[in-house]
A and B are shown apart, each in its own frame.
Chain A
């Protein structure tokens, strides 16, 4: 009986503490698809969360390793019930669950990363990672000797396909003979599978390994074989110091702090945000010592052009794998086409299924 009282008291105090916090502090919740310690995608988002946590009058919390699907709805719902003011859900599969919850809590600001649906109080956002991928493609194209570049990729969805295409276009811009071989792992985070996939690419002669995966597994495979690699999500050079040429990285802090500030001021409106290199949301990690100065300069020149808007990545003529022209000469593909991209450009070896 006494135990019961203690438990009840504790629960009550929990209730009270959450209620008080809601009055004083703004609460911001994050939902992650993988553990934050993975140096990958969720890790990058969590760096953004820490920047929000550092703001005055804001507390943050997160739930990691939330499977996409019905579990996500419960997690998001739980945050909304606990009085969170802003909720960021950072994986594609959270889109429909978040939309359902958003309808029930019209006063909470919901933000979904990488999807395409929105409502009155639910916006979506993503970064133009393909811009950074294009730059990293230039590095890979310059550094490859076998002209076979391996790409370990998670799922054949537009985000990943877009990245592979941009990467390939970048490589071809400096090395017309370069081909990019794609292996699908069908997982975002599985170090062993990712490493095995990278090894299969090394076996067919790839001498640069790029990845759209959340673990450093492919980097390690490249390091062991003594070839080059390009990381993703965050600077992965510590996992493969001899192989790591650079990495395409996320930098969410400026965006997250901006959104939270806007919600606090009451100026936030649900929108579809797609910032890129110019806003500093995506970038390249520092070059490894093996990348020659002229390659670095070439990349930085293109980077400046993309930032200024002088250069766009997907400008025709761009052909698909069969040789058919998908983007006509001189035309820049509109964002809607990029968001729904389901075909590979010429020079990619692999299928989109």
Chain B
């Protein structure tokens, strides 16, 4: 019998080692999925190559994956900053919804404003609405000691029902035969596509915000306080870091980013507000944030990979008739193996000598 034990490493695993663990984890999850494909009667290598081809194998596929990654990235960037402070914001979904609502309100109220004025106004409103939705649970957490996981989760339902109320009610397009959708936005309120590609200008919002976030965390005092307070609340308080304000700040930033994503989805991809805009990006964002260990650059990569996975699975369905549920399984396997692989950052497995 093999005797193993888990021992703590003297030093955390270096960059090279971490990458190796990540690659091995991904390989393991792909091997397991290949096995599942095999069980389902699909040739595994062909299956995985079809998946890859559908995600990144052509210009179109790549564009589709990047396009889908945009809202995931922004939401994920948002939740990651809250997670850094160990504030568990599960509410990106609701903040996304309110952001879309805020942007839509501006777009419908002032359709004739020129684009250079209208779009920033929509962004500001979306970020304010999303940020406000993030502020409420932060305030309740610090003043009334409520649990932010429960509150943010519950507020998701409130936000989505509010969105439904608007599109089924006052904002319903009179020409839509009673179907729930607002009128289409005016051209001024639409974030356009870049050249002949299917990617919209939102990708530059992502790059800019991601870069800002990286700089904020790395170079500003607030960014440092955030990291310190996340590691040890008591020590941070003792050091004079205003913890309560910090919590509210990150939740507002978190909500504002999710709201921004809501703006981009409403403006660039759907060109109006409708209930089907809610497809769970706020929850996907949590998965991505953890896969990326809360690092902005890794979040970018992880969002594109996860988006690619979802896009590629459609190709797998279309060409090889693999059930849609396979995508969910593959996603779960990757998350599981990568997070489990994280164990090796601080621990190693040793063989125990048997006497």
Q: Kindly identify which residue among A70, A78, A340 contacts B315, using a CB–CB cutoff of 8 Å.
A: A78
Range of interface residues on chain A?
Answer: 35 or more
Q: Shortest CB–CB separation between residue B339 and chain A, in angstroms? A: 25
Q: A10 and B46: CB pair below 8 A?
A: yes
Q: A64 and B323: CB pair below 8 A?
A: yes
B168 contacts across to A, CB distance below 8 A:
156, 353
Q: Which one of B50-58, B112-120, B249-257 contacts A?
A: B50-58
Q: Shortest CB–CB separation between residue A293 and chain B, in angstroms? A: 40
Q: Mark B223-263, 1 if CB is under 8 A from A, else 0.
A: 00000000000000000000000000000000000000000
Range of interface residues on chain B?
Answer: 35 or more
Q: A70 and B270: CB pair below 8 A?
A: yes
A56 to B169 CA separation, bound complex (whole angstroms): 48
Q: Which B32-72 residues have a C-beta within 8 angstroms of A?
A: 45-46, 49-50, 52-54, 57, 60, 64, 67-68
A79 to B318 CA separation, bound complex (whole angstroms): 8
Q: B279 and A69: CB pair below 8 A?
A: yes
Q: Which A85-138 residues have a C-beta within 8 angstroms of B?
A: 92-93, 96, 116
A190 at the binding interface (Cβ < 8 Å): no
The verdict on A35 contacting B323 (CB below 8 Å), with A156-B168, A186-B164, A353-B169 known, is: yes
A143 contacts across to B, CB distance below 8 A:
none
In the complex, the chain B residue whose C-beta lies closest to that of A70 is B269
Q: B53 and A14: CB pair below 8 A?
A: yes
Q: Which one of B79-87, B123-131, B177-185 contacts A?
A: B177-185
Q: B279 and A14: CB pair below 8 A?
A: no
B321 at the binding interface (Cβ < 8 Å): yes
B317 contacts across to A, CB distance below 8 A:
61-64
Q: Shortest CB–CB separation between residue A104 and chain B, in angstroms? A: 11
A157 to B176 CA separation, bound complex (whole angstroms): 10
The verdict on A71 contacting B179 (CB below 8 Å), with A11-B49, A65-B324 known, is: no
B1 at the binding interface (Cβ < 8 Å): no
A146 to B179 CA separation, bound complex (whole angstroms): 33
Q: A29 and B311: CB pair below 8 A?
A: no
B197 at the binding interface (Cβ < 8 Å): no
Q: B270 and A157: CB pair below 8 A?
A: no
Q: B323 and A92: CB pair below 8 A?
A: no
A158 at the binding interface (Cβ < 8 Å): yes
Q: Kindly identify which residue among A10, A18, A155, A340 contacts B180, using a CB–CB cutoff of 8 Å.
A: A155
Told that A14-B53, A37-B323 touch, could you supply 15 new A-B pairs with CB distance under 8 A? Answer: A11-B57, A14-B46, A35-B325, A62-B321, A64-B324, A68-B276, A69-B276, A69-B279, A75-B318, A78-B54, A78-B64, A78-B318, A92-B179, A156-B180, A340-B177
